[in-house]
Each structure stands twice: as structure tokens, then as C-alpha cells.
């Protein structure tokens, strides 16, 4: 009888753990990038003083609070305000003018994390005179991240960097107009979230969220395998109106998607795509 190697045992335990998370709690990480999952689970295992993924499985199945901690580790939290300023500058010049032609545009920010991208988008829309008639849907599967996003309170240490990003993104005012300082934190202007609806939504398992004019899902798909990426692109395609815009991260692409033929490229460097109108080639 063959004895499995340590690497084989580790892989078996990892697969069983992900299956347990799915069957026990309904969160499906089975088609996430294995490198990302392995890195985050190993960190969680070490922090909790566990020796194997089997022990992680036992812990999270019998301790709901630990499962919530694990979800926090597996969620994608790399974010900042006006991240990649050139993207926002392109959005301001090439997409916003067309969004203005709709009476009440709807924008879905999928995988919004702790809200920095949401408030960046809201600032841009306000400066372009579009915020008051735009509905923004901001979603994430991480409940803690959504709660932080709703509050809009961030570390003051990051404000200098965010200010530089804002200026490079074509900001028309002083960035300080959009927040107030409270102790060592900053609170984003509450008026920026008047037309924002924050909600829990899992791109992996949940159905179509809304029919919208634009979807921004930047730097999320890179954590999914090709099969899951294609499934999510299908979801986005179903959610976009014809002529609507899909925005992805700089390292992401529609190239391998079964729906790629339904889109035309607006800016390949900034990964801005437009869903074709009916009959458009």
C-alpha cells in the first residue's frame, strides 16, 4: 500500500478544509487561486498555533468566531483611495461623459473591501456633477469590511499618499474638502455615501445583483482560477446593460473569457471595456 507524501497529505487536507468551509458555511473558495489560499491559510494556521489544515478544519467547524476570523484572512484587502490614479483620470475623460447621458446611472463596485474605492468613485462623480443622480452598489462577502466601509473612517497616516493619488487622478479641489480629522483618524464626508448602498454579496456563489451601467471589479479576479474568472465575467455580463462598462484590474483580462466577444476595448492599459450594443460587431 502506497503511503502519501507530506505534500500529498497537505493537498488532501487543504481540499477537505475548503470543502468543509463550503458545506458548513456556504463560502466557496474551492476555485480561488491555490497560491493565495495556501498563503492565507498557512498564516491563519500559524497564528492559531495549529499543526495542520486538518486542525484548522476542526477549529472552524466548531468555533463560529474563528470561522469569521478565517473569512477575514481569505478576503482581499489590498486597497487604497484613487489606486492607480491614471485609471481614474481615464475614467474621468472617457467614461464619465457617456455615463452623464443616462438620467440615473447605476454603478456596481464588486469586491469593495473597506470602501476606499467607493469613496474615490463618489468624489469623482461629485466633481463631475453626477453623484446626486447616480446609485452606487458596493458589495463584498466580508461583513467586517462592509461595516468599516459604511463608517468611512481611515488612518490619518495614509492621507498624504491618498492626496497625491487624488491630485494625479485629476482632482479638481483640495482633497481635504472630502474628510475631517478626528484624533488620529479621518472621517470621509458622509454626504459621499448618500447614494451608496453597501451590501453583502459573494461573487462566487450569489446570483446577479442589479442591472447597471458600469461595473468596477479591480484586482479581484487575479485571486480566482480560470474557471471561476469565467463564471464571474458571465455574471457581470448578465448584470450590464448593452453599452455598459466593465472595469478590471491592470493584471486582469477578458482574453480567456467565453464572453470576450461581447465586449470592445476602450482602454487596454487601464482595462476598461464596453459591452457591445445589440447587433454591434
Compare 206 and 233 and report the one with higher pLDDT: 233
pLDDT at 93: 95
Supply the angle between the helices 34-47 and 6-25 in degrees, to the nearest 10. Answer: 90
Cell of 231: 463564471
pLDDT at 208: 79
pLDDT at 27: 85
Residue 279 has pLDDT above 80, yes or no: no
Compare 260 and 236 and report the one with higher pLDDT: 236
pLDDT at 174: 96
Query: Stretch 58-83: mean pLDDT, rounded?
Result: 87
What number of helices (H) and strands (E) belong to the chain?
Answer: 10, 10
Compare 31 and 217 and report the one with higher pLDDT: 217
Mean pLDDT of the chain: 91
pLDDT at 110: 95
Residue 185: strand pairing partners: 155, 182
pLDDT at 140: 93
**Do the Cβ atoms of 209 and 243 come closer than 8 Å?**
no
How big is the chain, counted in residues? 281
Cell of 20: 468543509
Query: Stretch 64-69: mean pLDDT, rounded?
Result: 90
d(CA 56, CA 37): 13
**SS3 state of residue 176:** helix
Query: Stretch 76-95: mean pLDDT, rounded?
Result: 91
How far, in whole angstroms, is CA 52 from its chain's centroid? 30
pLDDT at 223: 86
Compare 209 and 114 and report the one with higher pLDDT: 114
User: Using 50, 70 and 90 to split pLDDT, how confident is the model at 73?
Assistant: confident
**SS3 state of residue 101:** coil
pLDDT at 211: 93
Domains by residue range for the chain, with CATH: 6-74 (no CATH), 85-275 (3.40.50.150)
User: Using 50, 70 and 90 to split pLDDT, how confident is the model at 31?
Assistant: confident
pLDDT in tens, 150-186: 999 999 999 999 999 999 999 999 999 999 999 889 9
Residue 26 has pLDDT above 90, yes or no: no
Amino acid at each position: 500500500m502506497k503511503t502519501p507524501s507530506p505534500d500529498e497529505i497537505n493537498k488532501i487536507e487543504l481540499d477537505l478544509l475548503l470543502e468543509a468551509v463550503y458545506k458548513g458555511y456556504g463560502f466557496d473558495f474551492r476555485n480561488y487561486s491555490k497560491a493565495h489560499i495556501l498563503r492565507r491559510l498557512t498564516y491563519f494556521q500559524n497564528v492559531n498555533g495549529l499543526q495542520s489544515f486538518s486542525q484548522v478544519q476542526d477549529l472552524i467547524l466548531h468555533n463560529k468566531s474563528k470561522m469569521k476570523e478565517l473569512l477575514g484572512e481569505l478576503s482581499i484587502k489590498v486597497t487604497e483611495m484613487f489606486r492607480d490614479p491614471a485609471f481614474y483620470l481615464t475614467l474621468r475623460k472617457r467614461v464619465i461623459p457617456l455615463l452623464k447621458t443616462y438620467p440615473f446611472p447605476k454603478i456596481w463596485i464588486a469586491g469593495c473591501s473597506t470602501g476606499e474605492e467607493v469613496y474615490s468613485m463618489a468624489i469623482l462623480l461629485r466633481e463631475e456633477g453626477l453623484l446626486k443622480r447616480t446609485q452606487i452598489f458596493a458589495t463584498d462577502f466580508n461583513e467586517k469590511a462592509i461595516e468599516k466601509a459604511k463608517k468611512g473612517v481611515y488612518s490619518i497616516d495614509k492621507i498624504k499618499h491618498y492626496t497625491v493619488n487624488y491630485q494625479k487622478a485629476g482632482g479638481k479641489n483640495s482633497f481635504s474638502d472630502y474628510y475631517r480629522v478626528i484624533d488620529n483618524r479621518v472621517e470621509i464626508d458622509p454626504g459621499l455615501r448618500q447614494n451608496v448602498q453597501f451590501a453583502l454579496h459573494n461573487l462566487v456563489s450569489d446570483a446577479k445583483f442589479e442591472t447597471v451601467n458600469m461595473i468596477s471589479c479591480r484586482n479581484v479576479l487575479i485571486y480566482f482560477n480560470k474557471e471561476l474568472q469565467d463564471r464571474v465575467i458571465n455574471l457581470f455580463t448578465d448584470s450590464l446593460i448593452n453599452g455598459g462598462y466593465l472595469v478590471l484590474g491592470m493584471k486582469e483580462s477578458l482574453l480567456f473569457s467565453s464572453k470576450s466577444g461581447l465586449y470592445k476595448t476602450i482602454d487596454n492599459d487601464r482595462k476598461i471595456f464596453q459591452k457591445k450594443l445589440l447587433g454591434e460587431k
